[in-house]
Amino acid sequence: MRFLFSLINGARRAPVRLLGPVMIALSVVLSACQAAPQPVPLMPTKADIATSSLTPTTPLQPTLTPVPPKRTLVICLGEEPDSLYLYGSTSTAKWDILEAIYAGPIATTGYTPQAVILQKMPSLADGDAVIQSVTVQAGDEVIDANGNLVALAKGTLVMPSGCQSSGCAVPWDGKTVLKMDQMTVTFKLRPGLKWSDGVVLQASDSVYSFNLAADPDTPTSKYATDRTASYKAMDAQTIQWMGKPGYVEASALTDFWSPLPEHLMGKASAKTLLQSADVTQKPVGWGPYVIDDWVKGDHITLHKNPYYFRASEGLPKFDTLVYRFITGGPDASLTALLAGECDLVDSSSMLDQQLSSVMELTQNKKIQSFIGSGPEWEHVDFGIRPAAYDTKSPAASRPDYFGDVRTRQAFAYCMDRQGIVDQVLQGQSVVPDSYLLPQNPLYNQSVTKYTYDVSKGSHLLDLVGWKGDSVNPTTPRVAHGVKGVPDGTPLVVEYDTTQADLRRQVADALAKSLAACGIKLQIKTFTPGDLFAEGPAGLIFGRQFDLVAFSWESSPQPQCFLYQSNRIPSDANQWVGVNISGYSNPAFDAACSLGLSSLPGQAGYTEGQAKAQAIYATDLPSIPLYAFVKVVAARPDMCNIHFDTSARSDFWDLATFDYGAACKS
């Protein structure tokens, strides 16, 4: 599935996430009628579920074949979603539920898209992804060299056909015949797909989904739909996507919209669907399970889908699936797991806050745990160019603490990041060296690395002109000849972050290690709403900080765009941008542009990203701290769980989960 991104705040740790138009499938209502109102039941036990029926019973027929007992899987979630409408807000718990309703259509594992209900992923090599040169004229909608959707006009900065980076971009003179690259991708559904009500799933259901996603009343990002020139069904199993001229990105290879059941939803408006109980509570899909009922505040019960396309493989393994909502925190979730009330506990239960307990219980074989890191990564951004510098000199506003790259490099040497991973995160994370995590296939292992080294950090600060106290090295250094900083200014900088416990622990640890280099932090914490307020008034997006710590969620695109010059929020672009540090380097811009505008199989795809990472690691507009830890726990005899933090949910392979005797064979 295609993910494109806009900025929101995560509720628990307040990360800034890059989200996008989620291309998804919905399911149908199966209601059970009762003769008279009954009290709302508490969470049914496995025995209750195994002996109950949601359909009228029929007389038993004599048979010589023993009927296997009903099997139930109970998954406990740390939060309850407001809705299961996929063109709405997103959360880990919501996706963990929706993995049961449908599978795919595209899964991401190891940061690589994998076909699920498609026959294969398109590629240039196979010919189902094609780039061709087309002629464009004034007024045509194109993607300019900065990635913006614009009407072509004289002076528009564009990348002509064959140009793959901002280094060869030119302003159009309004007269010369202009050719630009246009990309076409063909997707083919696997045969035999059916909705859970038995109706055949076809390509037109994906086109219906695209049209719904593009509707102004559907609350999703329009990034992908706006950049789509056409999206049409070529036959019952084939969909062709065509981008607007200039839109050539690797992420376009996943521009497939998850089918929606047009036969069930097609007569309702996009606005009506937002409030439809059928859509928000009992969506119909093609996945391994079908929703029976949702008891608000307690649980959702599902049964096996007889039309699941992998049913002939004996999947899913369970007749009944139950999602329980345990919102009392990680202690309550662990208690329920140990008591046998849960078979699995997902990462929304925040078990990462109880890492010591989880690891001890795992060592004692009381539970199984699956621990991974990413894709979210915490980092400290430097206020290299505050917004005040746009109209005033550093001398007339904030001292230019970070204009000299050697100062930023010194901070990196003086931050004991590995100590934070080892002590605060129990050694269960990694310290990234770039904006990509080490497990990403595009990660450049040859970039400059900054291990904790007080001697190297102190030496660099000396060279810049920050003089320390030889008698008491922890006394803040003082400026003597530092460019942009008045002599006598102490090296005391503000460190801003949210009020989350983990961030406070990290801030305290950083303050201690930086003090050894003569750097003093003044730690200030804010609510997410205050920290991430829009510019120009906002602290981050108004570029009004010295140092700020928060997280980005990794996206399908390598995240070099976070530091491109044209992404700096300012008055000129109505404060819309993600390059909050104000960092600018034309060489980085060109390398990043090359990486983003190339496709797998083209030289620029890996070359551009490798070069951009190398420049980033030298220039350090930000310092990566660690990848967030995610934890899933299970009963000791669970099997076939393949936890992958790059997937959109904890349970991307839910249909294969099993426990008990079957796991020993």
Yes or no: say if 319 and 69 are a contact pair by the CB < 8 Å rule: no
CA angle 452, 457, 463 (to 5 degrees): 165
Is the pLDDT at 63 greater than 70, yes or no?
Answer: no
Phi-psi region of 155 (alpha: psi -120 to 50; beta: other; left: phi over 0): left
Alpha carbon distance 349, 79 (integer Å): 7
Which residues have a Cβ under 8 Å from the Cβ of 34 and sit 6 or more positions away? none
pLDDT at 623 over 80: yes
Q: Which long-range contacts (CB under 8 A, 24 or more apart) does 530-535 make?
A: 531/14, 531/496, 531/497, 531/498, 532/7, 532/9, 532/14, 532/16, 534/575, 535/387, 535/569, 535/570, 535/575
Query: Average pLDDT in the 105-124 region?
Result: 96
- 45 pLDDT band (50/70/90 cuts)? very low
Query: What is the Cα–Cα distance from 224 to 227, expressed in whole angstroms?
Result: 5
Could you tell me if 625 and 417 are in contact, meaning their C-beta atoms sit under 8 angstroms apart?
Answer: yes
**Beta carbons of 524 and 517 less than 8 angstroms apart:** no
pLDDT band at 23 (very low <50, low <70, confident <90, very high): very low
Residue 19 has pLDDT above 70, yes or no: no
Q: How many CA atoms lie within 13 A of 142 on its CB side?
A: 28
Q: pLDDT of 356-407, one tens digit each?
A: 999 999 999 999 999 999 999 999 999 999 999 998 887 778 999 999 999 9
Task: Read off the pLDDT band of 481 (50, 70, 90).
Answer: very high
Whole-model pTM: value is: 0.86
Give the whole-angstrom CA distance, residue 346 versus residue 355: 14
Report the length, in residues, of the chain: 665
Decide if pLDDT at 166 tops 90: no
Q: What pLDDT band is residue 62 in, cutting at 50, 70 and 90?
A: low
pLDDT level of residue 556 (50, 70, 90 thresholds)? low
Q: Mean pLDDT, to the nearest integer, of 33-49?
A: 35
* Rounded CA separation 275/88 (Å): 11
Q: In the chain, what percentage of residues exceed pLDDT 90?
A: 84
Identify the CATH class of 24-30+71-105+276-367+635-665. alpha beta
When pLDDT is cut at 50, 70 and 90, the band that residue 9 belongs to is very low
Q: How far apart are CA 494 and CA 396, in angstroms?
A: 18
pLDDT in tens, 632-662: 999 999 999 999 999 999 999 999 999 999 8
The pLDDT of residue 37 is above 50:
no
244: CB partners within 8 A, 6+ apart: 141, 142, 143, 149, 182, 227, 228, 229
Looking at per-residue pLDDT, the higher value among 560 and 89 belongs to: 560
Is a pLDDT exceeding 50 seen at residue 477?
yes
Whether the predicted pLDDT of 107 surpasses 50: yes
Mean pLDDT throughout 161-178? 94
* Ranges for all domains in the chain classified under CATH 3.10.105.10: 376-556
Give CA angle at 328 (323, 332), nearest 5°. Answer: 80
User: Span 245-269, mean pLDDT?
Assistant: 96
- pLDDT bracket for residue 554 (50, 70, 90): low
Per-residue tokens: 252: 């376009």
Res. 555: pLDDT tops 90: no
Region 277-283: mean pLDDT is 96
Where are any strands of DSSP class E within 190-319?
Answer: 228-235, 238-243, 289-295, 299-304
Secondary structure class of 7 (helix, strand, coil): strand
Task: Tell me how far apart the alpha carbons of residues 193 and 200 are, in angstroms, rounded to a whole number.
Answer: 6
Given this structure, which CATH class describes domain 376-556? alpha beta
SS3 243: strand
For the chain, the average pLDDT equals 90
Query: For the chain, where do the domains classified as CATH 3.40.190.10 start and end?
Result: 24-30+71-105+276-367+635-665
Pairwise CA distance, residues 91 & 367, whole Å = 25
Residues ≥6 apart with Cβ < 8 Å to 640: 653, 656, 657, 658, 663
* Closest of 63, 245, 75, 162 to residue 633, by C-alpha: 75
Amino acid in the structure at residue 4 = L
Model confidence at 354: pLDDT above 80: yes
What phi and psi, each to the nearest 5 degrees, are found at residue 75?
-110, 125
Average pLDDT, stretch 487-507? 97
Higher pLDDT among residues 643 and 67, named by residue? 643
CA distances from 259 to 41, 286, 339, 418, 575 (A): 34, 10, 40, 44, 36
